Structure formats: C-alpha cells, structure tokens
Amino acid sequence: MTEVEETENRMIAKPRKAVFPAAGLGTRFLPATKAMPKEMLPLVDKPLIQYGVEEALHSGMSNIIIVTGRGKSAIEDHFDVSFELEHLLEARQKKELLHQVRSISDMIDVSYVRQKEALGLGHAVLRAKELVGNEPFAVVLSDDVIDAEIPCLRQMSDIYEFYGASVVALMEVPPESISNYGVVDAEPIDHQGVSGRLFRIRNMVEKPKREDAPSNLAIVGRYILTPEIFSSIESIEPGKGGEIQLTDALKHLLRSRPIYGFKFEGKRFDAGDKLGFLQATVELALKRYDLGAAFREYLKKLPL
Ligand code: G1P
C-alpha cells in the first residue's frame, strides 16, 4: 500500500470506539438520582446505559470508553464481572440469567476516565482524548434511547464510511421544545438515491430561543466524530450555561471540515425526562417477547 492509500484507508476506517459521557448530575430525575447514577435507571430490566452500549456493540464498536464522575461506581460494577452473582446463578442452574449477566462483562472492553467537574459535554468528550487517539469515534448520550431495526450508530457509521466526515444524528422537533437542543442550519443532499435524510450542515447553535432557531432539526445524542474535534474543543470558550459545549466545538470544526447530519430511521426516547422515560418503558415493554402480551392485556383493562 502506498502512503497515500494508507492515509485514505485510515481516514475511512470504521469507528471502533464509543465514548459515553456519564458524569452529569441527573437533576431532571431527582430524587431517584440522588444516590444512583441516572445512567443506571432501568428501562424494563436493563439500565439506560446498557441500551447505548449494546447499540454500539451491534454497530461494530466494541471499545467502550465511559467518562464518569463522583458517585458513579455502580456503572463500573455493572460492566464488571460479578463472581458472587455468577456463582449463585450457576449453583441454582439459572442458565439464561447467568448467560445474560456474563454477556455484559464478556462482550466488551470498557475503559473509564474521570471528569472531575461537570464542565459540559464538550469537556466530557475531551477527557477521552488519550483513550480515543487518532481515529474516528462515536459519542453516545445514554439519555437518548433509540429503538431501531438497524442500530442508529450503524446507520451513521455507514454515512461516515461513505463521506469520511463527522456525522451527527438529527430529528425534527416541534417549536415548543426546540430550545432544549443543539439546532442545525443544513442543506438536504441526496444520498444513494434517497433524499430528505442526509444534510450538509452549514451552521449550528446550542439551545437557541425558539424564535432564533435556524430550523426544526435538532441534534440527538449520537455523533460520529473525527479526532480533529479534540483541538476544536480545546480552542473554544465556555458557551451556553457557562459550559464547554460539543455543539460549539462542532461549529468550530465546520470552518475546516464538512459535517453531515443524518435523520436516522428509528424512534428516539428522551429517557432523561420523566415523561420520555415512561413512554420508553411502556413501548419497550410492549415489544418484549416475554412480557409484551401480558402487559398489553393489562394496559387494555386500565380505565383510561
Ligand atoms: C445535549 C447537547 C445538545 C443535544 C442534546 C441531545 O444536551 O448539548 O446539543 O441536542 O444533548 O439530547 P443535553 O440534553 O445534555 O442538555
């Protein structure tokens, strides 16, 4: 391989690493999150973060980097081997449960890095710089649970491989909630004969006022980023809320690199919000082979 070919090859290598910022305080979910990380809140029977981790695994990213803070040791324990529990399940011949518990710690390679102060999403991502190195990587916000036939990160990884540029997940949101999101100004482009899904981003703004929003296209918590994002994060000043914002770093990166936005196929739940969490619980429970039918019967009988 020539040097040029090698460089091109490296540029479009599939992302293998996924960064999970998990140092936030979870104030939207108090008091449940007073002593428990919000990433450990269970949707049916799995903690929120595990949905994101499984999505990453099913998208070819087996190297998981979790950015944690104080009081988050339950996350580390969850992905660690639990000898006592495995021993008990083995002794009681609970094969299916044993398999489930083992598969959590077997399948993945997890590293942890600390974010000592919650200084913003951009700051959290920057903490993973050394572990990511010089390769493309995903960022997953585990509050955003995405139910999709093809995992959202896989859909985005395919776009990344095609264009060799950063990709953010997009979703249309109504005007009354647009100011909760990073919002893009973007031009639609055709991708392999499909229109209306892929966008080339012109500009973006973190949590604009409703009247200042450049569009109804909001960024949701899935990103595929090239490693240049780290120097962009290092170059920017604190933004909205006095925090180092990932959206501001992406805007900085836009000066030198194209960034794409992708309206993924699938349903996103904002599980960091109480109503969104309840909706996710109901819909995911209804889809479960072992619970769905009985739960549907129960719901039908409620005097709604
Ligand atoms: C973060 C990002 C925002 C994005 C959102 C998606 O905000 O800063 O740009 O739209 O996630 O969930 P947060 O919800 O952490 O305040």
Give the model confidence (pLDDT) of 59-82 as tens digits: 999 899 999 988 788 998 888 877
Please give the pLDDT value at position 106.
73
pLDDT band at 91 (very low <50, low <70, confident <90, very high): confident
Mutating to test ligand 1, I would choose from 152, 203, 219 the residue with most ligand atoms within 8 A of its C-beta, which is 219
* Helix/strand/coil percentages in the chain, nearest 5: 40, 25, 35
Please give the pLDDT value at position 171.
98
Please give the pLDDT value at position 118.
84
Cβ neighbours, 10 Å, residue 234: 13
Q: Is the pLDDT of residue 125 over 60?
A: yes
157 lines ligand 1 (CB under 6 A): no
Give 183 Cα–ligand 1 centroid separation in angstroms.
10
Give the model confidence (pLDDT) of 142-181 as tens digits: 999 999 999 999 999 999 999 999 999 999 999 999 999 9
Overall average pLDDT of the 118-130 stretch: 96
Q: Is the pLDDT of residue 105 over 80?
A: no
Q: State how far the Cα of 252 lies from the Cα of 166, in Å rounded to an integer.
A: 13
Nearest-CA residue for ligand 1 atom 7 is 181
Please give the pLDDT value at position 234.
97
Round the average pLDDT of the chain to a whole number and report it: 92
Which pTM does this prediction carry?
A: 0.92
Q: Is the pLDDT of residue 4 over 70?
A: no
Overall average pLDDT of the 2-8 stretch: 51
Please give the pLDDT value at position 224.
98
71 Cβ contact partners less than 8 Å away, ≥ 6 residues apart: 35, 37
Q: Is the pLDDT of residue 9 over 80?
A: no
Show the domains of the chain with their CATH numbers.
3-272 (3.90.550.10)
247 lines ligand 1 (CB under 6 A): yes
Maximum alpha-carbon separation in the chain:
70
Q: Is the pLDDT of residue 222 over 70?
A: yes
218 lines ligand 1 (CB under 6 A): yes
In this structure, are residues 17 and 65 in contact, taking their beta carbons and an 8 Å threshold? Answer: yes
Establish how many alpha carbons lie within 13 A of residue 130's alpha carbon, considering only the half-sphere containing its beta carbon: 6
Overall average pLDDT of the 234-238 stretch: 97
Q: State how far the Cα of 70 lies from the Cα of 49, in Å rounded to an integer.
A: 17
Nearest-CA residue for ligand 1 atom 10 is 181
Q: State how far the Cα of 298 lies from the Cα of 146, in Å rounded to an integer.
A: 25
Q: Is the pLDDT of residue 3 over 60?
A: no
220 lines ligand 1 (CB under 6 A): yes
By CB atoms closer than 10 A (0-12, 13-18, 19+), residue 179 is middle
